Amino acid sequence: MIIDRNSPIPQYFQLQTWIIEHIEQGVFKPDEKIPTEEEFSQMTGLARATIRQAIQNCVNMGYLYRKRRLGTFVIKQNLNVNKKTIIGVMVPDIRTGYAPELARGIGDEAAANKHSIILCNTDDFYIKTNFHADNLIEHNVSGVIYVPTAASDEKNRMILEKFTRKNIPVVLADRVIPDANVDYATTDNFQGAYELTKYLVNKGHKRIAVILSTLFSTERQRFDGYKQALSDSNIPFDPSIVVADQGPFLENFYIKYVKKLLDDNNITAVFAGHDRIAYLVYTVARQSGLRIPEDISLVGYDDLPSSSSHPVRLTTMHQPIYEMGKQSMKLIMSRINGDVSEPQKVILKSYLVERFSVRTIHN
Amino acid sequence: MIIDRNSPIPQYFQLQTWIIEHIEQGVFKPDEKIPTEEEFSQMTGLARATIRQAIQNCVNMGYLYRKRRLGTFVIKQNLNVNKKTIIGVMVPDIRTGYAPELARGIGDEAAANKHSIILCNTDDFYIKTNFHADNLIEHNVSGVIYVPTAASDEKNRMILEKFTRKNIPVVLADRVIPDANVDYATTDNFQGAYELTKYLVNKGHKRIAVILSTLFSTERQRFDGYKQALSDSNIPFDPSIVVADQGPFLENFYIKYVKKLLDDNNITAVFAGHDRIAYLVYTVARQSGLRIPEDISLVGYDDLPSSSSHPVRLTTMHQPIYEMGKQSMKLIMSRINGDVSEPQKVILKSYLVERFSVRTIHN
DNA sequence: ATTGTTTAATTGTCTATACAATAATACAAA
DNA sequence: TTTGTATTATTGTATAGACAATTAAACAAT
Q: Average per-residue pLDDT in chain B? A: 90
Q: Please state, in angstroms and rounded to a whole number, the distance separating the CA atoms of residues B66 and B46.
A: 20
Q: Please state, in angstroms and rounded to a whole number, the distance separating the CA atoms of residues B312 and B306.
A: 11
Q: Please state, in angstroms and rounded to a whole number, the distance separating the CA atoms of residues A306 and B276.
A: 10
- Residue A308 is predicted with a pLDDT of 63
Q: Looking at the partner chain, which of B84, B309, B311 has a beta carbon nearest the beta carbon of A139?
A: B84
Q: Please state, in angstroms and rounded to a whole number, the distance separating the CA atoms of residues A356 and A297.
A: 9
- Residue A248 is predicted with a pLDDT of 85
pLDDT digits (tens, 9 = 90+) for A155-196: 999 999 999 999 999 999 999 898 889 999 999 999 999 999
Closest to A107 in 3D by CA, of A362, A326, A335: A326
Residue A105 contacts residue A329 (beta carbons within 8 Å): yes
Closest to B120 in 3D by CA, of A97, A119, A17: A119
Residue A120 contacts residue A91 (beta carbons within 8 Å): yes
pLDDT exceeds cutoff 90 at B210: yes
| Rounded CA Rg of chain A | 29
Q: B96 contacts in A (CB within 8 Å)?
A: 100
Q: Looking at the partner chain, which of A94, A120, A310 has a beta carbon nearest the beta carbon of B94?
A: A94
Closest to A278 in 3D by CA, of B314, A286, B305: A286
Residue to mutate among A58, A94, A128, A142, with most B CBs inside 10 A, is: A94
Give the minimum alpha-carbon distance from A228 to chain B in angstroms, rounded to a whole number: 32
List phi, psi (to 5°) of A145: -105, 125
Domains contained in chain A, CATH given: 11-74 (1.10.10.10), 86-187+322-348 (3.40.50.2300), 189-320 (3.40.50.2300)
Once rounded to an integer, what is the mean pLDDT over residues A331-351? 93
- Residue A159 is predicted with a pLDDT of 95
Closest to A156 in 3D by CA, of A183, A176, A132, A185: A176
Least-confidence region, from A243-257, A340-354, B36-50: B36-50
Closest to A71 in 3D by CA, of A25, A99, A108, A37: A37
Cβ contact, residue pair B86, A118, below 8 Å: yes
Residue B291 contacts residue B350 (beta carbons within 8 Å): no
Nucleotides on chain D that have an atom closer than 7 A to a protein CB are 8-18, 21-24
- Considering chain A, what percentage of its residues have pLDDT values greater than 90? 58
Q: Average per-residue pLDDT in chain A? A: 90
A230-262: burial string, b at 16+ Cβ within 10 Å, e else: beeeeeeeeeebbbbbeeebeeeebeebbeebb
Once rounded to an integer, what is the mean pLDDT over residues B159-173? 94
Residue A258 contacts residue B284 (beta carbons within 8 Å): no
Q: Please state, in angstroms and rounded to a whole number, the distance separating the CA atoms of residues B276 and B280.
A: 6
Question: Which position has the higher pLDDT, A308 or B274?
Answer: B274
**DSSP bridge partners of A67:** A71
Amino acid letter for position A99: A
Least-confidence region, from A198-212, A241-255, B55-69: B55-69
Residue B150 contacts residue B121 (beta carbons within 8 Å): no
Q: Which helix or strand (DSSP H or E) is residue B121 part of?
A: strand B116-121
Q: A117 contacts in B (CB within 8 Å)?
A: 118-119
pLDDT exceeds cutoff 60 at A82: no
Whether the CB of A340 is less than 7 Å away from nucleic strand C comes out as: no
- Residue A1 is predicted with a pLDDT of 59
Residues 6+ apart with CB under 8 A from B118: A86, A116, A117, A118, A119, B86, B87, B88, B89, B136, B139, B141
Q: Please state, in angstroms and rounded to a whole number, the distance separating the CA atoms of residues B32 and B359.
A: 74
Q: Please state, in angstroms and rounded to a whole number, the distance separating the CA atoms of residues B180 and B158.
A: 11
Give the Cβ contact number of residue A9 at 10 Å.
10
pLDDT exceeds cutoff 50 at B53: yes
Residue A146 contacts residue A172 (beta carbons within 8 Å): yes
Q: Please state, in angstroms and rounded to a whole number, the distance separating the CA atoms of residues B312 and A310.
A: 10
**Pairs from A158-165 (Cβ < 8 Å, separation ≥ 24):** A158/A130, A159/A126, A159/A129, A159/A130, A159/A133, A162/A130, A162/A133, A162/A134, A162/A137, A163/A133, A163/A136, A163/A137
- Residue A81 is predicted with a pLDDT of 45
- Residue B335 is predicted with a pLDDT of 95
DSSP B248-315: ---HHHHHHHHHHHHHH---SEEEESSHHHHHHHHHHHHHTT--TTTT-EEEEEE--GGGGGSTT--E
* Whether A283 contacts chain B with CB within 8 A: yes
Cβ contact, residue pair B116, A120, below 8 Å: yes
pLDDT exceeds cutoff 80 at B118: yes
* Whether B120 contacts chain A with CB within 8 A: yes
Once rounded to an integer, what is the mean pLDDT over residues A115-135? 95
* Whether B138 contacts chain A with CB within 8 A: yes
Once rounded to an integer, what is the mean pLDDT over residues B14-38? 85
- Considering chain B, what percentage of its residues have pLDDT values greater than 90? 58
pLDDT digits (tens, 9 = 90+) for B129-151: 999 999 999 888 999 999 999 88
- Residue B121 is predicted with a pLDDT of 97
pLDDT exceeds cutoff 90 at B1: no
- Residue A315 is predicted with a pLDDT of 95
pLDDT digits (tens, 9 = 90+) for B68-92: 878 888 886 654 444 678 999 999 9
Give the Cβ contact number of residue A220 at 10 Å.
17
Q: Where does the pLDDT of residue A10 fall: very low under 50, low under 70, confident under 90, or very high at 90 and above? A: confident
pLDDT exceeds cutoff 70 at A13: yes
Residues 6+ apart with CB under 8 A from B114: A135, B84
Closest to B145 in 3D by CA, of B133, B155, B134: B133
Q: Please state, in angstroms and rounded to a whole number, the distance separating the CA atoms of residues B291 and B281.
A: 11
Once rounded to an integer, what is the mean pLDDT over residues A96-106? 94
**DSSP bridge partners of B351:** B318
Number of A/B CB contacts below 8 angstroms equals 106
pLDDT exceeds cutoff 80 at A83: no
